[in-house]
Amino acid sequence: MPTSGIRIGRIFGIPIYLHSSWFIIFALITYSLAGQFASDHPDWTQTQHWTLGLLTSLLFFGSVLFHELAHSVVALRYKIPVVSITLFVFGGVARIGREATTAKQEFNIAVAGPLSSYLLTGGFWLLTHVFPSSEMVGALAGWLWWINIRLATFNLVPGFPLDGGRIFRAIVWGVSGNFERSTRIAAGAGKLIAYGMILFGGWRALSGNLVGGLWLAFIGWFLLTAAQESVAQVEMRGALAGLRAGDIMLRELPTVERSISLGDYVQELLRTGRRCHLVVDGGQLVGLMSIHALNKVPRDEWDNTSVQAAMVPREKVVWSRTDEPALSLLERMMNQDVNQMPVVENGQVVGLVTRDALLRMIQTRTEVGQLARQ
């Protein structure tokens, strides 16, 4: 799932992004709509065709954004953080900070999206009864109610990670009480649906509808990948179950003085292989230095720039506690885009957790678990 792009604003405190692939699909939809309006309304001017095509395309992606906001608002209602919403080639995706804690929460978050699209369907359908299809508003509303009902209905297909698959997972979760099992079942359904779309899309492409068939197969491939990732996430949760930050942290704390230059810091990196260091001054912690921070400074300025000038200052460092669950820790690191966190106990730094250490732990415990099941 895309997680970055061009930031265009915030709604309800949620950053909204446009992925680079969005511009391609936006241009294609606008071009297609302009051609459709030209065919349906040859008496209109070319300016009207393109203006309506552009406006309809914008409102379509506004509908997609409204759909994702519906998911997000319900998630926020349950105090589940929403990291961002990104519009991309397949529509949109809301990046939720963590999984729902109950089946009811999962159901309500999932169902909010299709309900919002059906609400838009009704609104645009009513507009078609106010404005005739021969007018620009009526033509716009006619296409938008038709596309929104298709969007809502397609999303209700019971294959993970579609909304219908999440609803299906919530139902299985509620009945079985087992989140991991329900995810595997929903993801299995998602894989079957994805394979069906790929095969049907390939058949349509070979039967003459090349563009439509390839597009359907491409969507199926995307859903298949997402379903496989959902199973991997379940395995990750299982691998980290019962572990806390204190179990994974590095107790040997690498430190550097804040007064040294970045050129000297690079030599320390090369000597030790450590990617992150606590920055100290007279034994007191003043910040965090890493390769990520180093890369923000141009190479020709390293010898004249101190570690203090490039480090993350103490007040901006993201901390963990020794008793924080490892899964929660990994989710925070991913959501806040940090690769390491100092671990604090009784006001003192007692360790350092890195994302690499967490991923190695997941890999090791997963492989051992597979060997034990053989």
Q: What are the catalytic residues? A: 68
**Cβ proximity of 189 and 165 under 8 Å:** yes
The β-bridge relationship of strands 91-96 and 320-321 is unpaired
Rg of the chain over Cα atoms, rounded to whole angstroms, equals 25
At 94, phi and psi to the nearest 5?
-95, 125
> Which amino acid is it at 338?
V
- Work out the angle between the directed axes of helices 326-335 and 355-373 (0-180°, nearest 10): 130
- 119: number of Cβ within 10 Å: 15
**Which helix or strand (DSSP H or E) is residue 16 part of?**
strand 14-18
**Cβ proximity of 82 and 107 under 8 Å:** no
Q: How far apart are CA 83 and CA 1, in angstroms?
A: 13
**Positive or negative: CA dihedral 148, 151, 157, 158:** negative
